[in-house]
Structure 1
Amino acid sequence: VGFPVFKLFSKDVIYDYPIRAGRQSADITAWLEKKMESPFVYLDTKEDFDAFTDKFRTVVGAFYHENSARYRSYEATAHTFKDELNMEFGLITNQGFAADVGMMDSEISVFRKDLDKVVYEGAPTFDDVSTFVLKNWVPDIFEYTNRDSEKIGLLQEKGVVKNLVMMFIDKDADYFDEKMKMYSEVRQEFASSDTLFAFEDCKRNGRNTFLQRHCNLVQTDCPAIRGIYIQDLDFPKVKPDPLTKANVRNLVNGLNTKTLEPYWRSANVPQKKDELDNGVRVLVSLNFDDVVGDQEKHVFVMFYTPWCAQCKKLMPDWEKLAEDYKDNEDIIIAKIDMIDNEVKEFATLYSWPVFKLFPKYKDTFVNFKENKTYEELKSFINIYALFDDTNEVLKRSLDEMNDEDRDITEKIILGMKVELPKEEVERFAPAEELGEGRPRQKVLTKEEWEEFDRLQDEVMEPHTHDDDEDPHEH
Structure 2
Amino acid sequence: VKLDLTYTVIQAHDQPGDKSLPEQGGVLQLKKANFNRALRKHKQLLSSCHYAPLSAEGPHVSAAFEGAAAELQGSEVKLAVIDVTKEKDLAKDLNATGPPTIRLYIDGDKQNPVPCPVPQTSASILTWLKRRAGSAADIITDSQSEALEELTVVGFFKDLDQASIQVFYSAAIDLPDINFVVTQNNEVISKYGLTHDVVLLLKKSELIQAYKMTSQTSKEELIIFITVYQMEPVTEYTGETVTQILTSPVLNHALLFVNKSSADISEIYSAFKSAAEAFRLKILFVLVNVDEPRNGRLMEYFRVRDFEAPLIRLVNLTDHVSYHLPSDTLDVDTIKTFCQSYLEGKAKPKMQSEPIPEGWDKKPVKELVGMTLEKVTFNPDKTVFVLFYLPYSRESRALFPLWEELAEAFKEQEDVVVARIDASANDINMSMQRSYPSLCLFPALHAERVVVYTGNRKLKDLVKFIEKEMEKAKKERIKVSRLTGVTV
Same fold (TM over 0.5): yes
Quick one: structure 1 residues 42 and 169, their matched pair in 2 at CA, closer, same or farther if it must change by over 3 Å? farther
Partner of 2:62: none
8 A Cα contact 2:383 2:444, kept in partner? yes
Structure 1 position 262, deviation (Å): 1.7
- The structure-2 alpha-carbon separation of the partners of 1:71 and 1:132, relative to structure 1 and needing over 3 Å to count, comes to same
2:129 is matched with which residue: 19, 32, 51?
32
Q: What is the CA-CA distance between 1:215 and the residue it aligns to? A: 4.1
Indicate the residue corresponding to 1:6 in structure 2. Answer: 103
Q: 1: CA distance between counterparts of 2:347 and 2:235?
A: 23
State the partner residue of 1:109.
200
Higher strand share: 2
- The structure-2 alpha-carbon separation of the partners of 1:201 and 1:182, relative to structure 1 and needing over 3 Å to count, comes to same
Deviation at 1:18, TM superposition (A): 0.8
Question: Partners in 2 of 1:96 and 1:19 — Cα distance?
Answer: 36
Which residue of 2 is the match for residue 289 of structure 1? Answer: 374
Partner of 1:197: 285
Give the match for residue 117 of structure 2.
Answer: 18
Structure 2 letter corresponding to 1:358: P
Matched, 1:305 2:393: no
Q: Secondary structure at the match of 2:322?
A: coil
Shift of 1:287: 0.8
Q: Which amino acid aligns with 2:384?
A: V
- For residues 237-272 of structure 1, give each alpha carbon's deviation from its aligned partner in whole angstroms, at most 9, with x where no partner exists: 31124552264233112023211112233222223x
Could you say if the C-alpha distance between residues 7 and 69 of structure 1 is closer, same or farther in structure 2, counting changes exceeding 3 Å? Answer: farther
1:252 aligned onto 2:339: yes
Match of 1:152 in 2: 248
> Residue 6 of structure 1 aligns to a residue in which SS?
strand
SS of match in other structure, 1:332: strand
Shift of 1:286: 1.1
Alignment partner of 2:175: what SS? helix
Q: State how far apart, in whole Å, the 2-side matches of 1:397 and 1:314 are.
A: 40
1:402-423 alpha-carbon deviations (Å, 9 max, x no partner): xxxxxxxxxxxxxxxxxxxxxx
Residue deviations 1:292-339, cap 9 Å, x none? Answer: 233444433233333444543442343244345546544432211222
- How far apart, CA to CA, are the structure 2 residues paired with 1:383 and 1:106? 61
Question: 8 Å contact 1:39–1:78 — kept in the other structure?
Answer: no
Contact kept in structure 2, 1:225 and 1:240, CA below 8 Å? yes
In the alignment, what sits opposite 1:342?
A: 427
Change (3 A) 1:354 1:229: closer
Residue 176 of structure 1 pairs with residue 270 of structure 2: no
Structure 1 contact 60–108 (Cα < 8 Å) conserved: yes
Alignment partner for residue 354 of structure 1, among 439, 445, 459? 439
Distance 1:301 1:67, change over 3 A: closer
**1:267-282 matched pairs, under 5 angstroms:** 267-271=354-358, 273-276=359-362, 278-282=363-367
In 2, distance between residues paired with 1:96 and 1:363? 65
User: CA shift at 1:350, angstroms?
Assistant: 0.7
CA distance 1:43–1:295, change in 2 (3 Å): same
Instruction: Report Cα offsets for 1:142-194 as digits up to 9, x if no partner.
Output: 445211246521x56xxxxxx43222334455553332123134445x36874
**Structure 1 residue 227: Cα displacement:** 1.7
Amino acid at match of 2:349: P
d(CA) in 1 for partners of 2:165, 2:431: 47
Equivalent residue for 1:140, pick from 233, 246, 253: 233
Distance in 2 separating the partners of 1:100 and 1:397: 79
Contact 1:239/1:262 (8 A) holds in 2: yes
Q: Greater Rg, structure 1 or structure 2?
A: 1
Q: Work out the CA distance in 2 between the residues paired with 1:97 and 1:141.
A: 29
* Cα separation, 2, equivalents of 1:187 and 1:79: 28
TM-score, normalisation: structure 1: 0.59
Distance 1:241 1:113, change over 3 A: farther
Rounded to whole Å, the distance in 1 between the matches of 2:190 and 2:400 is 70
Q: 1: distance between equivalents of 2:459 and 2:403?
A: 7
1:297·1:331 contact (CA, 8 Å) conserved in 2? Answer: yes
Whole-angstrom distance in 1 between the partners of 2:351 and 2:255:
17
* Distance in 2 (alpha carbons) for counterparts of 1:120 and 1:197: 21
Alpha-carbon distance in structure 1 between the residues aligned to 2:453 and 2:419: 14
Summarize the Cα distance change of 1:205–1:115 in structure 2 as closer, same or farther, 3 Å threshold.
farther
**What pairs up with 1:181-260 in 2 under 5 angstroms?**
181-187=270-276, 190=278, 194-201=282-289, 203=292, 205-206=294-295, 215=302, 217=304, 222-229=309-316, 233-234=318-319, 236-242=321-327, 244-245=330-331, 247-260=334-347
TM normalised by structure 2 equals 0.57
> Cα–Cα, structure 1 residues 20 and 239, in superposed 2: closer, same or farther, change >3 Å?
farther
Aligned to 1:81: 175
Q: What is aligned with 2:95? A: none
Aligned residues of 2:352 and 2:426 also touching (Cα < 8 A): yes
Contact 2:233–2:280 under 8 Å retained in 1: no
State the distance in 2 between where 1:388 and 1:130 align: 47
**Further displaced range: 304-313 or 251-260:** 304-313
CA 1:207–1:147: 2 relative to 1, 3 Å: farther
* Contact 2:440/2:450, CA 8 A, preserved across alignment: no
Distance 1:399 1:258 in 2: 38
Find the aligned partners of 1:391 and 1:62 in 2 and give their Cα distance.
Answer: 64
**Deviations 1:364-410, CA, capped at 9 Å, x for gaps:** 455556543333444555565599889989x989999xxxxxxxxxx
User: In 2, distance between residues paired with 1:368 and 1:130?
Assistant: 36
Q: Whole-Å Cα distance in 2 between the matches of residues 185 and 30 of structure 1?
A: 36
Greater shift in the superposed pair: 34-43 or 307-316: 34-43
Question: Alpha carbons of 1:184 and 1:327: their partners in 2 closer, same or farther (altered >3 Å)?
Answer: same
Larger fraction in helix? 1
Q: 1:314 to 1:42 in 2, by over 3 A?
A: same
Deviation digits for residues 83-118 of structure 1, max 9, x if unmatched?
A: 1xxx45566666678767878777643458999765
For 1:61 and 1:359, locate their aligned partners in 2 and report how far apart those are by CA, in whole Å: 60
Task: Report the Cα distance in structure 1 between the residues aligned to 2:347 and 2:384, rounded to whole angstroms.
Answer: 32
CA drift of 1:138 comes to 5.3
RMSD of the TM alignment (CA)? 5.1
Give the SS at the match of 1:164. Answer: strand
Q: How does 1:380-391 map to 2 (within 5 A)?
A: 380-381=465-466
Deviations 1:26-83 (A, max 9, x none): 9855641466696689756xxx85x548x8x654456799666555554554454351
Q: 1:262 aligns with which of 326, 349, 353?
A: 349
Shift of 1:226: 1.5
Matches of 2:155 and 2:175 in 1, distance apart?
15
Tell me if structure 2 keeps the 8 A contact 1:166–1:197. yes
> Is the Cα contact below 8 Å between 1:302 and 1:354 reproduced in 2?
yes
